[in-house]
Amino acid sequence: MQAFQIRLLLAIMLTQAFAIGLSYGIYPIFLQPLEASFDASRTLISAGQIIIMVAMSVGGVLVGTALDNGHPRRIMLAGATLMGTAFALGAVAEQLWLLGLVAFAIGLCIPAIGPLVSAGLVTRFFLSERGRALGLMSIGPPLGSGVFAALSGVLLPAYGWQLSFAVFSALCLLVLLPVIWAVIPARFPESPSRAGGSGASQSRVIDVARRPAFFWTVLSYALMVGTMTAWTVHVAAFLGTHGLSAAAQSMVLAVSFWMGIPGALLSGFMADRWPAQRLFATMLVVLAAMLMLFSLHPKASVLVVLVASSGLLTGGVVPLYTMMLGQRLPTEDFGKAMGLSNLFVLPVMAVAVIVAASLFERHGDYRLALHGLAGLATLAVFCLLLSNHYARRA
């Protein structure tokens, strides 16, 4: 790799660490404190994850189109500024609706500084060893999720959730903005195949969504991400039902996120040697089996090991999905495809998160929710088989 490529990978690892760590990574840790602070139901607080996903879907389409027009630095600077501002607003929020607004703003930031723009940068600047680069890039989300989950476990008991939000705001503004300005290129190299004008861009978005190979691939991805998001939102509370303290919950969750680092590296290196769709199918089967094991309520020691090791799967999702998209779509449509992906993930994730919370409140445990999530992971395998069929025909 060239020096510029190494700097670029390090920068997008950091931006993804913030994007995912300060959204999905900290949410399970803040679920119960916010529940108690606002005297709200778990279902209501869990809906914050859905607000984040709605905003992420809206932002994904906008950012994806802007990315294909070639302005990565501008997009990432806007996203980092908005995230820092959102957490500053959260630090002074005293009403639940205002936190909902903060969640929406955070969701808008994720495509701009998270995997969408990062994957676009790798796709354009790494023509060889792309799988390796995607694996290294994907270290950021699990690393950041683990760091911020562990940091939340320290800040929350000592200072409360509002001051924790203030710390997160300062980190966004003082760390992310300088790194993005110094490292991220202002523009992509010009691509002669990229059509100009807003009308052509909009027609390409529609064309991407209508391609059968893309549709079934993204549906499999949506089922995978929806299942894993629902599990991540509730995993800390699930550990609490087995007697683990809040500090132990945050530490186990942090280890699980950090296990995504070897997961991302392994999946990235393997994707340069074996078909990405085969690796993705294997990951789905393992996820379904693991969720069924959780539903059997194993001993706490076994449960901790299983939760921690589940992070291996999380790390492989983005690099493998990105590899599949890169193989099945033209480069100039990649940003739109990644942006459209969030629209497919949203309904699956929303239903999975809310139904899991409702089943817990109705039955007092997560057994039925885990069975349903395992079923979604199994359904994703069949969608992937259909996507392979249409990809071969194309």
Q: What is the pLDDT of residues 256-265, one digit of tens each?
A: 878 888 888 8
Residue 167 is predicted with a pLDDT of: 94
Residue 238 is predicted with a pLDDT of: 79
Count Cβ neighbours within 10 Å for each residue of 282-309 and write b for 16 or more, e otherwise: bbbeebbebbbebbebeeeeebbeebbe
Q: What is the pLDDT of residues 149-195, one digit of tens each?
A: 888 888 888 888 889 999 999 999 999 999 999 999 988 766 544 44
Q: What is the pLDDT of residues 341-385, one digit of tens each?
A: 877 887 887 788 788 878 877 877 778 888 888 999 999 999 999
Most confident listed range (13-17, 89-93, 113-117, 134-138): 13-17
Residue 112 is predicted with a pLDDT of: 92
Mean pLDDT lowest among 1-15, 78-92, 179-193, 279-293: 179-193
Reported as a pLDDT band with limits 50, 70 and 90, residue 202 is very low
Supply the DSSP string of 265-312, one letter for each residue.
HHHHHHHTTS-HHHHHHHHHHHHHHHHHHHHT---HHHHHHHHHHTHH
d(CA 328, CA 323): 9
190 SS3 class: coil
Alpha carbon 45 to its chain centroid, in Å, reads: 19
Supply the DSSP string of 192-204, one letter for each residue.
TTPPPSHHHHHHH
Residue 204 is predicted with a pLDDT of: 56
Domains and CATH numbers, the chain: 3-185+198-393 (1.20.1250.20)
What is the Cα Rg of the chain in Å? 20
pTM: 0.69
Residue 383 is predicted with a pLDDT of: 92
Q: What is the pLDDT of residues 268-323, one digit of tens each?
A: 788 778 888 889 999 899 989 988 988 887 787 787 788 877 878 877 887 888 88
